Amino acid sequence: MQLPTLEEIQSATQVVRAVMPPTPQYTWPLLNARAGTEVWVKHENHSPVGAFKLRGAAVYMDWLKKSQPLVTGVIAATRGNHGQGVALAAARLGLTSVIVVPHGNSREKNRAMQALGAELIEHGEDFQAALEHAGVLAEARGLHPVPSFHPLLVHGTATYALEFFQEAPELDAVYVPIGLGSSICGMIAVRNALVLKTKIVGVVAEDAPAYAISFRERKAVSAAANSLLADGLSCRVPVPKALEIILANVDHIVEVKEGEIAAAMRAYYEDTHNVAEGAAGAGLAAVLKEREALRGRRVGVVLTGGNVDRELFLDALKTA
């Protein structure tokens, strides 16, 4: 898969601007003290759906409306944030949306998708099962399937990376959580397009290690995905195109434990008073885990979203 060029990312930015403004990037003194180095946070939790996924959905839906004007409805599988992005982007263009989630999915993310106009269907025990069912429903109901990884989604996610690299000081490394890979591929695309020396570091949950194992083995390896806190990272089957880009461009991948993710969620709240969902906390968890190696460096971390159920967040705050 070809990564988007700078011109393509700038074009995608124009599409995204019709849906949302740029999100901020801040460095927080308390967080810096905790990490032992200068940390810049890209606040994608400030988007209209509380996560970065709206960017890719907006770009994809804009293309769909222009290239396939007879399409009236779309379907997607999600653990929540992709579905919210798809639902909002579809509604803006007059399209109906059907979102398939696994049983036991986040109640608050489910409610948010329904509030955005989506028809919600629960199926299967994990994301992969929901994804496969969405494919069956797409054919049966004549709906356009919106993929969870696609070059146009990477164009969209790259828009936040462009904002980050242009507005923050020069970064030695950026830590990016990996679900299926659109976010880290967007970050890689911008780093490469701007010819920067910044290292890109991937982050996965230890309880959803498919990409970490695949990175070590240099080939796609499926693995169980059971992270309770980082549901957005709980994908058991790597996307070959994403893995190819990751293998060629990522410095290393850090695996973080549930307790480390919870500690990062607490740190975000205590040091910045921002709410981070587990997948978003994973990036900071990796920075804190590699604290000694990062001393004296300037690092970036992506707070990818703040959509977490109240009970999970309260449990994370109470854990010591």
Whether 273 and 159 map to the same domain: the answer is yes
- Residue ending a domain, choose from 86, 115, 145: 145
Q: How far apart are CA 171 and CA 40, in angstroms?
A: 8
* Structure letter (DSSP) for residue 225: -
How many domains are contained in the chain?
A: 2
- Average pLDDT of span 250-275: 98
Predicted local distance difference test score (pLDDT) of residue 269: 97
Q: How far apart are CA 46 and CA 56, in angstroms?
A: 15
* pLDDT(262) > 80: yes
* pLDDT(320) > 80: no
Whether 215 and 302 map to the same domain: the answer is yes
CA dist 131 → 105, 147, 162, 197, 255 (Å) = 14, 9, 30, 36, 24
Predicted local distance difference test score (pLDDT) of residue 235: 86
- Average pLDDT of span 72-78: 96
Predicted local distance difference test score (pLDDT) of residue 1: 87
CA dist 319 → 151, 261, 265 (Å) = 39, 11, 10
* 195 domain residue, yes or no: yes
* 260 domain residue, yes or no: yes
- List, in order, residues 6 or more apart from 111 with CB less than 8 Å away: none
- Residue ending a domain, choose from 95, 130, 145: 145
- Residue ending a domain, choose from 110, 145, 180: 145
Q: Are 167 and 21 within 8 A, CB to CB?
A: no
Q: Report residue 276: phi and psi, to 5°.
A: -120, 130
Whether 172 and 234 map to the same domain: the answer is yes
Predicted local distance difference test score (pLDDT) of residue 146: 97
Q: Report residue 263: phi and psi, to 5°.
A: -65, -40
What percentage of the chain reaches a pLDDT higher than 90?
Answer: 94
Taking all residues of the chain, what is their mean pLDDT, rounded to a whole number? 96
- List, in order, residues 6 or more apart from 72 with CB less than 8 Å away: 95, 96
Residue 141's CB: how many other CB atoms inside 10 A? 10
Q: Are 306 and 51 within 8 A, CB to CB?
A: yes
- Let me know how many helices (H) and strands (E) the chain has, helices first: 14, 10
Predicted local distance difference test score (pLDDT) of residue 225: 87
Q: What is the reported pTM?
A: 0.95
Predicted local distance difference test score (pLDDT) of residue 130: 94
Q: Which domain holds residue 120?
A: 53-145
Q: Are 243 and 216 within 8 A, CB to CB?
A: no
Predicted local distance difference test score (pLDDT) of residue 232: 87
- Average pLDDT of span 109-128: 95
Q: Are 268 and 302 within 8 A, CB to CB?
A: no
- Residue-wise pLDDT for 5-59, tens only, equals 999 999 999 999 999 999 999 999 999 999 999 999 999 999 999 999 999 999 9
- Residue-wise pLDDT for 137-165, tens only, equals 999 999 999 999 999 999 999 999 999 99
End-to-end CA distance of the chain: 43
Whether 224 and 296 map to the same domain: the answer is yes
Nearest Cα to Cα of residue 31 among 260, 270, 199: 270
Token pair in block for residue 8: 């393509």
Q: Within 13 A of 126's CA, how many CA atoms are on the CB side?
A: 15
CATH number at residue 80: 3.40.50.1100
- Residue-wise pLDDT for 224-239, tens only, equals 988 889 988 988 899 9
* pLDDT(132) > 90: yes
Predicted local distance difference test score (pLDDT) of residue 234: 85
Token pair in block for residue 97: 């949306």
111: buried, middle or exposed (CB in 10 Å: 19+, 13-18, 0-12)? exposed
Q: How far apart are CA 85 and CA 213, in angstroms?
A: 29
In sequence order, which ranges of 180-257 are alpha helices (DSSP H)? 182-193, 210-217, 240-249
- Average pLDDT of span 208-217: 97
Q: How far apart are CA 176 and CA 93, in angstroms?
A: 30
Whether 211 and 278 map to the same domain: the answer is yes
Q: Are 86 and 57 within 8 A, CB to CB?
A: yes
Whether 183 and 265 map to the same domain: the answer is yes
